[in-house]
Structure 1
Amino acid sequence: MAISSSEISEVIKQRLQDFDAEMVSADVGRVISVGDGIAQIYGLTGAMAGELLQFPGDVFGLALNLEEDQVRAVILGAFEHIQEGDEVRTTGRIVEVPVGPQLLGRTVDALGQPIDGKGPLESSETRPIETIAPGVVTRQRVSEPVQTGIMAIDAMIPIGRGQRELIIGDRQTGKTSILIDTIINQKGKNLFCIYVAIGQNAASVARVRKTFEDNGAMEYTVIVAATASDPASLNYIAPYTGCAIGEYFRDSGQDALICYDDLTKHAWAYRELSLTLRRPPGREAYPGDVFYLHSRLLERAAKLNADNSGGSLTALPVIETQANDVSAYIPTNVISITDGQIYLEADLFNSGQRPAISVGLSVSRVGGDAQIRSMNKVAGQMKSDLAQFRELAAFSQFASDLDANTRRQLDRGQRLTQLLVQKQFEPVHTGVQVCTIYAGTRGFLDKVPVDKVREWKNGFSRFLLAERKTFVDSIESDRKWDEDIEAKVKETIDAFNRQSGVEA
């Protein structure tokens, strides 16, 4: 059957009428050279700084150097198949990652893609990894505590929701343990956690996840992993990916905690990228904008006011020092950005004082504002007692004779030091902390032998949780401290001491 030209014309008109396609504008360039994860591209005259570029094989790159006649981009992923002459297109987008509650319990890579073998993410919402930090007007003062479950921190170096507290120290001094303990302690406290592993080996990340699972922490935690085997480009963007995930909760009016483990390796990854991009090296071969690298990341942690959701994002960055040198380039940069630091000493760690927190060098610039009232009241004396003890202990080494008052202060300091020794992955209930610290600072342990203090503490903790559970819960929930509560704490300590045979 013959079809007339008019019928063909009608069909074409109908198709054209129904055809609906958006105009897509894209610059197209060609790869000049590729190596070490860096591609030189000619022809992308309209590319923007930080724009996502599309390479062959569904691989993306990040435009970082916009030069007069070419663009240098870092490739986010495998680059072995990319060759000279390959076509590259601009996308008009910057790097975005999936966000939302669907990520809780998952392990994702630096691009937000799942790597835990539990299927694809169901999240449909994405956020750019780079955003401008909230301004001063949109913030409010930090006043809610992040209870870490670590007595030395909650008592003397408190962390508030919306704060940035640096954890700094040499290798193998317990920095990651503090992060893990803090995340484990958030069960039931309405605080979502993001753990960002930068430059670690995959086995370490798997161990951290197993620890979270064993303690029931994965249900409110996201792990963002850029391992040592990943390209430097993925180690570079991993903290920003984790921050974008945390900002989703912050901007939704909820509270989130993000742990960057660690920013030293992040700075190394950025230095590697910068040198391969032919950017001029500065001090210790770091590029000139390495301060901005961390400041624009950590400034995004904030406690927002009620008009701007009221949510918070707390940041715990980790920095590794070399031979206790806190005056090195990267440590001093991050110290100046954060609101305080928890300094871990290798000598304390090796002597058995764990967590190995140096009371003299650690500080929280939020201080008592980030503590519940009861903790503030009982712990204020502790820091001064320990500081005096450390000072006296140094001088007493050269003294053969000590007066009674000095000896009493030294004995009290030794007991307080033992009181703060804590096992890994065993966070202490806040109410138990208050009662235990009260006993130490008010002289209830003065008759307990120094080598029995830890045993006393463990027994007292079991006693409180078994016999006085309602009372210790009320200390945390009511957040009050008055004469009646103090009297009840004294009565509780006396009851346990009588039961355990400790002299009054």
Structure 2
Amino acid sequence: MTIAEYFRDRGQHALIVIDDLTKHAATHRELALLTREPPGREAYPGDIFYLHARLLERAAKLSPERGGGSLTALPIAETDAGNLSAYIPTNLISITDGQIVLDTGLFAANQRPAIDVGLSVSRVGGKAQTPALRKVSGRLRLDYSQFLELEMFSRFGGLTDARIKAQVVRGQRIRALITQPRFTPLRALDEVAVLAALAEGVFDDFPVEQIPVMRARLAAHLDAHGGTAAAALKESGTLEPAAQATLVAAVRDLAQTCGTPAPAAPAATQPDGKSS
């Protein structure tokens, strides 16, 4: 942390990932018990919250008068059997500006990154996003959370209501779109275009298994067919209605190309004219 502050105080920007504060707390607890300090909750000493708060609150964004540098801290904590209400995780939640919760069940289901959207919280909210991304992602989290609940109940019987079926179909497409292959993140332009197309229902009839193919071709297709809309979005970060319509049309064209099944190969004929 001191090394990171060195760069922050010189007007630069530093990021420190602390891996992990659970083990730090366990070590501090062991030393405290050996020195016969009074144990508190879960046998941790009473000052463990103070230690973590004092450490993490050294992360700050300095004013221009002080150089304008910044220090961002990302503390990592391990949960025991997914128990987010344990002492150390709840301490860190109360100190930080939000949390990203990773779930082993989602990881086993091959969703990458395995982020639990219900338990993950940002107190900064949409202010950390560009205006364009904030505009097209407004209902994404709510729609996906509702889909997860409907998917759980749908396991006990068939869905008969057309509106609920449509929500499940939309949720399946959302899950496929937010699954990110390793080391292949989408650009901000790609994210905005995909989410805008999702809101317009472009993917409602699109085969889920074809979404990875569409995703791989998305960047090149938008560069070729995005026109001035892509350039305007990159420059200003805002999304005008005309630009949104252009991006949605480009994604729809790509979806139609990727979603069309390849024509079957003609059967080979033998010399007597019969098909093999």
Q: 1:335 aligns with which of 71, 93, 108?
A: 93
2:93 is aligned with 1:363:
no
- Tell me the distance in 2 between the aligned counterparts of 1:470 and 1:484: 10
Q: 2:197 aligns with which of 439, 447, 451?
A: 439
Instruction: Specify the code of the residue in structure 1 equivalent to 2:54.
Output: R
What is aligned with 1:387?
145
2:180 is aligned with 1:422:
yes
Cα deviation, residue 335, structure 1: 1.1
Q: After superposition, give the CA deviation of every residue in 1:124-175 in whole Å (9 maximum; x if it has no partner).
A: xxxxxxxxxxxxxxxxxxxxxxxxxxxxxxxxxxxxxxxxxxxxxxxxxxxx
What is aligned with 2:269?
none
- Tell me the distance in 2 between the aligned counterparts of 1:453 and 1:362: 25
- Tell me the distance in 1 between the aligned counterparts of 2:227 and 2:14: 28
2:71 is aligned with 1:313:
yes
- Tell me the distance in 2 between the aligned counterparts of 1:436 and 1:450: 14
What is aligned with 1:295?
53
Matched-pair contact (CA < 8 Å) for 2:206–2:259: no
Instruction: Specify the code of the residue in structure 1 equivalent to 2:164.
Output: T
2:233 is aligned with 1:475:
yes
Structure 2, unmatched stretches of 5+, are 262-276
Cα deviation, residue 458, structure 1: 1.9
What is aligned with 2:28?
270
SS at match of 2:77: strand
2:226 is aligned with 1:490:
no
SS at match of 2:139: helix
Q: 2:218 aligns with which of 447, 456, 460?
A: 460
- Tell me the distance in 1 between the aligned counterparts of 2:111 and 2:82: 17
Task: Decide which structure has greater strand share.
Answer: 1
Q: 1:409 aligns with which of 156, 164, 167?
A: 167
Matched-pair contact (CA < 8 Å) for 1:251–1:309: yes
- Tell me the distance in 1 between the aligned counterparts of 2:221 and 2:4: 38
SS at match of 1:484: helix
Matched-pair contact (CA < 8 Å) for 1:263–1:319: yes
Moved more, 393-402 or 380-389: 393-402
Q: After superposition, give the CA deviation of every residue in 1:87-139 in whole Å (9 maximum; x if it has no partner).
A: xxxxxxxxxxxxxxxxxxxxxxxxxxxxxxxxxxxxxxxxxxxxxxxxxxxxx
Identity value in percent: 48
**Structure (1 or 2) with the larger CA radius of gyration:** 1
Instruction: Specify the code of the residue in structure 2 equivalent to 1:456.
Output: M
What is aligned with 1:353?
111
Q: TM-score, normalised by structure 1?
A: 0.49
Describe the shift of the 1:466–1:277 C-alpha distance in structure 2 as closer, same or farther (beyond 3 A): farther
Matched-pair contact (CA < 8 Å) for 1:436–1:457: no
Cα deviation, residue 376, structure 1: 0.2
Structure 1, unmatched stretches of 5+, are 1-242
Moved more, 260-269 or 471-480: 471-480
Q: TM-score, normalised by structure 2?
A: 0.86
Matched-pair contact (CA < 8 Å) for 1:447–1:502: no
- Tell me the distance in 1 between the aligned counterparts of 2:4 and 2:44: 28
| 1:157-168 mapped onto 2 (5 Å cutoff) | none
Instruction: Specify the code of the residue in structure 1 equivalent to 2:242.
Output: D
SS at match of 1:317: strand
- Tell me the distance in 2 between the aligned counterparts of 1:457 and 1:389: 22
Task: Decide which structure has greater helix share.
Answer: 2
Instruction: Specify the code of the residue in structure 2 equivalent to 1:282.
Output: G
Describe the shift of the 1:470–1:285 C-alpha distance in structure 2 as closer, same or farther (beyond 3 A): farther
What is aligned with 2:270?
none
Instruction: Specify the code of the residue in structure 2 equivalent to 1:359.
Output: V
Which consecutive segments of 4 or more residues in structure 1 shift more than 4 A? 465-474
SS at match of 1:291: helix
Matched-pair contact (CA < 8 Å) for 1:281–1:288: yes
Q: 1:326 aligns with which of 74, 84, 91?
A: 84
Describe the shift of the 1:394–1:267 C-alpha distance in structure 2 as closer, same or farther (beyond 3 A): same
Instruction: Specify the code of the residue in structure 2 equivalent to 1:284.
Output: E
RMSD: 2.3
SS at match of 1:256: strand
Q: After superposition, give the CA deviation of every residue in 1:185-226 in whole Å (9 maximum; x if it has no partner).
A: xxxxxxxxxxxxxxxxxxxxxxxxxxxxxxxxxxxxxxxxxx
Describe the shift of the 1:452–1:495 C-alpha distance in structure 2 as closer, same or farther (beyond 3 A): closer
Matched-pair contact (CA < 8 Å) for 1:416–1:441: no
Q: After superposition, give the CA deviation of every residue in 1:9-66 in whole Å (9 maximum; x if it has no partner).
A: xxxxxxxxxxxxxxxxxxxxxxxxxxxxxxxxxxxxxxxxxxxxxxxxxxxxxxxxxx
- Tell me the distance in 1 between the aligned counterparts of 2:206 and 2:123: 34
Cα deviation, residue 468, structure 1: 4.8
Instruction: Specify the code of the residue in structure 1 equivalent to 2:165.
Output: R
What is aligned with 2:14?
256
**Which structure's relative contact order is higher, taking Cα pairs within 8 Å and 6+ residues apart?**
1
Instruction: Specify the code of the residue in structure 1 equivalent to 2:64.
Output: A
